[in-house]
Amino acid sequence: MKKNGGYILFIVLILLICMIPSVGMFSGGEAEAGGNEVLTPPPSLRDRDGRWNTSYLTDVTNYWEDHYFFRQQFVTAWSALNQKLLGTSIADSVVLGRNGWLYFSDTLDNYTGFKTLSQREIFSAAHNLALIAEYCQNQGARFLFAPAPNKNSVYPQNMPDLPVFSRRAGNMDALHEALEEEGVPSLRLRDAIEAADEEIGRAHV
């Protein structure tokens, strides 16, 4: 009986925890937006044209996902749990680095050399920029191409351990070399950032 009572108590406790968001929401609790996040507005049965809103159920779902009570606290707790126990981020677009550093996952292919632009793609990009530069010069303007480097190319020391598939130069270096061949003025911002006395654009948890 004591064993069964413990199971029942555990189930009741879990149910009460699951009910907190719903009860808090319907009792007037307000959800908090995180950072620059914009919360979904309340759903409407009719759209702007006065017709029935065929996406009403979807809108209700989106509204609930953004407005349940203690949402930001639950998100923060879940993020911390994944960070501490699994060493990962809950956002697919974010890679959790060392010392609390955050990196964009879309830059991993270039960082590891797993998938970089082909020579043809690099040439096409440089040639198109050369045409733009020529047009600007014909209009009496000066053209300078200054692409922002990937964060992990400037601060690789805080990246997690990842396999390197290729030692070939990354997209940025290859593009700058092609731009020189095309005679397009370009600025290597990575050199300027690396020469700075302080870290620039650090994002951390």
pLDDT at residue 128, rounded to an integer = 96
**Would you say residue 18 lies in a domain?**
yes
Q: Are 61 and 128 in a shared domain?
A: no
> Model's pTM, two decimal places?
0.56
Structural domain contains residue 204: no
pLDDT for position 181: 93
For residues 132 and 101, state if they share a domain: no
Looking at the fold, whether 93 and 112 belong to one and the same domain comes out as: no
Q: Do both 86 and 132 map to the same domain?
A: no
Residue 32: the pLDDT is: 61
Tell me, yes or no, whether 37 lies in a domain.
yes
The answer to the question of residue 62 being in a domain is yes
Range with the poorest average pLDDT among 18-32, 48-62, 107-121, 164-178 = 18-32
**How far is it, in rounded angstroms, from Cα 32 to Cα 41?**
13
pLDDT digits (tens, 9 = 90+) for 90-102: 677 788 888 878 8
Poorest-pLDDT segment among 26-35, 39-48, 139-148, 171-180: 26-35
**Could you tell me if 99 and 126 lie in one domain?**
no
> Which of 56-65, 67-76, 174-183 has the largest mean confidence?
174-183
> Is position 185 within any domain?
yes
Render pLDDT for 108-160 as a digit per residue (tens, 0 to 9). 888 888 888 889 999 999 999 999 999 999 999 999 999 988 888 888 888 88
Share of the chain above pLDDT 70, in %: 79
Residue 16 belongs to a domain? yes
Instruction: Domain count for the chain, please give it.
Output: 2
Looking at 80, 105, 130, which one is the last position of a domain? 105
Residue 92 and residue 123 in one domain: no
Q: Reply yes or no on whether the pLDDT at 205 is more than 70.
A: no
With a cut of 70, say whether residue 25 has pLDDT above it: no
Whether residues 11 and 80 fall in one domain = yes
pLDDT, greater one: 64 or 129: 129
**Domain carrying residue 127:** 107-195
**Same domain? 7 vs 96:** yes
